[in-house]
Amino acid sequence: RPGAFTPQPPRPTSRDGVIKTKPRVERNRVLVTGGAGFVGSHLCEYLVNRGDQVICIDNFFTGSKENVAHLIGKPNFEIIRHDVVQPILLEVDQIYHLACPASPIHYKYNPIKTIKTSFMGTMNMLGLARRVRARFLLTSTSEVYGDPLEHPQTEGYWGNVNPIGERSCYDEGKRAAECLTMDYHREHALEVRIVRIFNTYGPRMALDDGRVVSNFVAQALTNQPITVYGDGSQTRSFQYVDDLIKGMVAVMDGEQLGPFNIGNPGEFTMLELAEVVREVVNPKAEIVFRPNTADDPSRRKPDISKMRTAFGWEPRVKLRDGLQRMVADFKARLHVDA
C-alpha cells in the first residue's frame, strides 16, 4: 500500500559507507558453513588452532563428522546439523560461507537443490551477517569463468558459462551467489569478501566424490586403472588445501573485498596428472581413457597477481609433495597396507 512503508534511518556507517564490523575481539567468533566438508574441516582446524571460537554448521550431504572428529570436544569448537537453505540465528563476528556440494557428481545429483543451496543458502547467511554485523566471505569458484576464452583467468574476466547445461546449477548458482554478495554490500553496506577457488586437493577429500585427484589417487592405491576422461588434453591447476586455507584467512582478515583468485598456477593436462600420480603413488598403475562429461572446461589456470600484490600470498606446496601428503590419509581410509 502506498504510504504504508516508513523509511528507517540509515544504519551507522564509516566514512567510506561501509558498516563497521565489531572490532576483532580476543576470541573471534567464527561461523563456518559446510565446515564438515573437505575444505571446511581444514579451515575449522586452522581457526580452532589459532584460538578462534568456531561454530561449524553442516547438513552432512557430502561432509561428515569424521572430518572434524579431532576437533569435537575442544572448548572452542561446536558443530550443528543445519541446512543453510533454512535461516539460522547465531552471534558471530565472521562468516565463512562454504556450504554447497562442490564435486560434479555431487552437485549434479540433485541440481535443483544445488542451485537452491547456492542462492538461498547464501541469502540466508548474508541476512545473518547483516543482522549481527558480521563480516561475510563467499567461497566462489573458478567455475564462474566457465570454459574460459581468456587464459590464464584474471578476476576481471566475466566468463563463458553455459546457462542451461548440466553444470549450470553449480556455475550459475555461484555466479548468483557472487551477485547477491555484492548487492548486500552495495544495498546494506555489509562487509563482504569473495574468493574464487581453483581445483584443490588434499587429505579428507571424499573417496567417492569423483573429482580427478581423489579418483586417480584412490585408483592407483587400489591397483585399479586410472580413468582419464576424453583424450586427457584438458588442463587444470591444482592447489594443496593448506595453501588455500592461508589465502582464504588472509582475505577474510584483510581489508579488500575481492574477488580474489586462489589457486596454484601450475597447469597440467589430465594425462600429465595421471602420469604424476602413477609415478608418486603406484608405478604399475594402468592408464585408461573414458568418455568425458558434458561442458567440461578445456583449460583452467589462475592469474594470482591480485593475491600476490594484496597479501604477498602464493602457493607453496608442489603437486608431487601434496600428493605424498594425501596418500597417507587415503591409505588409512581405503585400508591399504604400506
Chain residues in the site for ligand UDP (CB under 6 A): 103-104, 199, 211-212, 215, 227-229, 234, 236, 270, 292-293, 296
Choices 101-109, 124-132, 221-229, 288-296; region in contact with ligand NAD by CB under 6 A: 101-109
Structural contact between residues 194 and 248, judged by C-beta atoms closer than 8 angstroms: no
Long-range contacts of residues 314-317, Cβ cutoff 8 Å, at least 24 apart: 315/239, 315/240, 315/243, 315/263, 315/264, 315/265, 316/242, 316/243, 317/239, 317/240, 317/242, 317/243, 317/264
Residues of this chain, 216-235, that bind ligand NAD according to CB under 6 A:
none
**Position 240 contacts ligand NAD (CB under 6 A):** no
Choices 6-14, 197-205, 280-288, 292-300; region in contact with ligand NAD by CB under 6 A: 197-205
If contact means CB under 5 to 8 A according to the sort of partner, which of ligand NAD, ligand UDP, none does residue 121 touch? ligand NAD
Specify the pairing of strand 192-197 against strand 260-262: parallel
For residue 114, the minimal CB distance to ligand NAD (Å) is 8
3-state secondary structure 235-279: EEECEEHHHHHHHHHHHHHCCCCCCEEECCCCEEEHHHHHHHHHH
Cα 66 from Cα 92, distance rounded (Å) = 25
Pick from 81, 86, 92, 87: which is nearest to 34 by CA? Answer: 81
What residues have CB less than 8 Å from 178, skipping those under 6 apart?
Answer: 138, 140, 144, 194, 259
For the record, the C-alpha cell of 212 comes out as 580427478
Binding mask 277-296 for ligand NAD (x = CB under 6 A): --------------------
**Position 37 contacts ligand NAD (CB under 6 A):** yes
For residue 252, the minimal CB distance to ligand NAD (Å) is 14
**Position 99 contacts ligand NAD (CB under 6 A):** yes
Q: Which of 96, 170, 184, 201 is catalytic?
A: 170
**Position 34 contacts ligand NAD (CB under 6 A):** yes
Cα 330 from Cα 72, distance rounded (Å) = 22
| Residue type at 306 in one-letter notation | K
If contact means CB under 5 to 8 A according to the sort of partner, which of ligand NAD, ligand UDP, none does residue 76 touch? none
Active-site annotation holds for 96: no
Of the two residues 99 and 277, which places its CB atom closer to ligand NAD in the complex?
99
**Position 315 contacts ligand NAD (CB under 6 A):** no
Binding residues for ligand NAD, rule: CB under 6 A, are 34, 36-40, 58-63, 83-85, 98-102, 106, 117, 121, 139, 141, 197, 199-200, 206
Residues identified as active-site: 170
